Structure 1
């Protein structure tokens, strides 16, 4: 069941568990709030086990200020109430102390938000709130003022603390923004450390072009009956989506999987679907130039269609932005496959970089690239595209891409000079594993 369909208290327990399981807070840190249609504000309690909240732990603050519940409200409840009162369009607020957001707060700086399109689109006029002791009136005032005085703001970084993220849509959306921003900051930190300079950014013009790209008008068809083969493939997509999320290869909002059903049709994840809890009903069938009625496929579905049309040997495509591999997508650093034999065996040839926007403007070029070159492509400031003869095969490539990138980054952090596999060793691998 979608988070939004749960009762408010259940939503708070669900999202707080996700925050904890995603390593975005400690067992005792962070707090959430959610405003319902009657104007009641539901909040998490003070203390307790953030990964194991029960519905009975959640408090309900009535419009008159009376509190229902057996626990003590979080010390930051005043901040939540102020944000929701001063900005009535907001429905939910997330606060916690993940490593990326805390790191930037220790510098008392604002992060780059034009690194990846998901963050560039979701974070509005990010602000820096002055330091205040947790639970103090000073901190409540400092944070509340940033939201009240800047009507476009939906994120405030707290000096030496963490961040507050608010959403007009709901709690799941606030969490998605929160997680993607922290993820983006961690990429920025690694890119600056390894690359020696600030990352490459998306321009406003590039982002506008990306956002305004129109999908072709397609007819719809009614799905009458789902075959056993199709249902198994839908379930497999959901399984690998869940696996990608749990292994930090996908975030809630970032990541797409598709799989060929037959020569003329394929399945792809639905636009706006929650990668943490994807269901078979949120997988969309594309048949020729028609789409399953009542559903909106991922924005990238036409790229997937063209790749399938041009490459009959490709049966699955995964688009993702894994943290360590993305360092090479937002810098001028080359992703070198000649690190360990497995990397070269799985990924084959050098991975080419395509400019940001290539998923829109260079679809046929990408399709031809997969026909002739590596099964993986890098789209600058956007994603990696991994192709394979099955979902398993494409997922294997994605994992190898990320694990190898992490190894290279850690090697550079250890210092010294990286020693890749030499030409004769590469030839030996090619000969043994029939790589042409």
Structure 2
């Protein structure tokens, strides 16, 4: 069990609201429905009984405590902590999305369909080689993943990083391993579309493979769910990077694609990155690509900074973006293609 008072969850506790975890599939899958315990004096038997009563409902693994905080359960401490981290991410995303506009949630049918479409039967190969350059890529990936977790750009339950190794073969993060616990040995080698034996790659492995095959200029991909970018993905608010010159120069324009497209039209999504460096997926994630992993991470940082600025600007007044003439001037001055 974990009992805590993080700001996102407390915001719902003190307004006596229950967060809707249907904003992204994995939040619903990990957190499920949330219970609600009426107020009780801290440390009292009365409060304990109210919380225990909520956990009698088998659907609840987390309970909001009225004007207090949250209690979460799990099969072990890691399971409970990942649920806690994911639920706090969910609350922060809901708050930020609400600042931008209407919060759009998924139906249970959409989430079930999403889970059904995830590829589960990945072919494996046995003859695995780990030359020095391949091992170096693994180490670089682990460093970037931990940096992303430290900066709040990735949480333990979601985030995929891949790097092209040679031709269309690449390395990718594993499935169902806490992101901040990933080691170089956990990284999965993908060769001719097959995964190295004994490992399960990220569920988006087929899409990453398609992107590499379609786009020889792309050598790394990061898929993740930072809260400010996800606020745009959940609210349907346009992620307009024509805010300051640096944002547009690094990112160019960032399209938003419908929920579910990642698995229903892989080739179309892969083709999107012929001309776009990043893309938002409604109620799902952000995709960022680059020629080098460190550059891809830089683009991710810029994207989340830009999204955060837009969330903050919503409380100040309407966005007044850089005009088309100024964008063309930037395109020429900085040779943006």
Which residue number in structure 1 is paired with residue 32 of structure 2? Answer: 124
Query: Aligned partners of 2:245 and 2:110: how far apart in 1?
Result: 37
> In structure 1, the residue corresponding to 2:72 is in which secondary structure?
strand
* Equivalent of residue 241 in structure 1, options 145, 166, 172: 145
Q: Residues of 1 paired with 2:5 and 2:122: CA distance? A: 44
Q: Does 1:418 align with 2:322?
A: no
Which residues of structure 1 form unaligned runs of 5+? 1-92
Query: Given the two structures, how large is their TM-score scaled by the length of structure 2?
Result: 0.97
Query: Which of 140, 154, 172 in structure 2 is aligned with 1:250?
Result: 154
- Cα deviation, residue 214, structure 1: 4.7
Q: Hey, which bits of structure 1, 4+ residues long, moved more than 6 A?
A: none
State the SS of the aligned residue for 2:33. Answer: coil
- Segments of 5+ residues of structure 2 without an aligned counterpart are none
Report the RMSD for the aligned CA atoms in angstroms. Answer: 1.3
Does residue 352 of structure 1 match 2:221? no
Among 76, 88, 93, which residue is 1:187 paired with? 93
Partner of 2:41: 133
**1:200 pairs with 2:104:** yes
Say if 1:182 and 1:217 are closer, same or farther in 2 by CA, change over 3 A.
closer
- Report whether the alignment pairs 1:365 with 2:273: no
Aligned counterparts of 2:112 and 2:174: Cα–Cα separation in 1? 23
Q: Hey, what's the Cα distance between the residues in 2 that align with 1:166 and 1:319?
A: 28
Deviation at 1:287, TM superposition (A): 0.2
Counting only pairs closer than 5 Å after superposition, residues 87-126 of structure 1 correspond to structure 2 as 93-126=1-34
Q: Deviations over 1:56-96 (max 9, x none)?
A: xxxxxxxxxxxxxxxxxxxxxxxxxxxxxxxxxxxxx1110
Match of 1:304 in 2: 208
| C-alpha separation in 2, matches of 1:214 and 1:435 | 36
- Does the C-alpha gap of structure 1 residues 218 and 333 become closer, same or farther in structure 2, counting only changes over 3 Å? closer
Deviations 1:226-269, CA, capped at 9 Å, x for gaps: 11100110001100000000000000111100000011310000
2:281 equivalent to 1:379 = yes
Deviation of 1:211 (Å): 0.6
Query: Are 2:61 and 2:72, in contact at CA under 8 Å, matched by a contact in 1?
Result: yes
- Secondary structure of 1:102's counterpart equals helix
Distance 1:214 1:332 in 2: 24
User: Superposed, which structure 2 residues align to 1:41-190 within 5 Å?
Assistant: 93-148=1-56, 150-168=57-75, 170-190=76-96
Corresponding residue to 2:231 among 324, 327, 331? 327
SS at match of 2:237: coil
Deviation, 1:209, is: 0.8
Aligned to 1:409: 311
C-alpha separation in 2, matches of 1:374 and 1:220: 31
**C-alpha displacement of 1:172:** 1.0
Which fold has the larger relative contact order, with Cα–Cα distance below 8 Å and residues 6 or more apart in sequence?
2
Report the alpha carbon displacement of residue 300 of structure 1 after superposing the two structures with TM: 0.5
TM-score after normalising by structure 1: 0.75
Number of residues paired by the alignment?
Answer: 337
Please tell me whether Structure 1 or Structure 2 has the larger radius of gyration of its CA atoms.
1
Matched, 1:389 2:291: yes
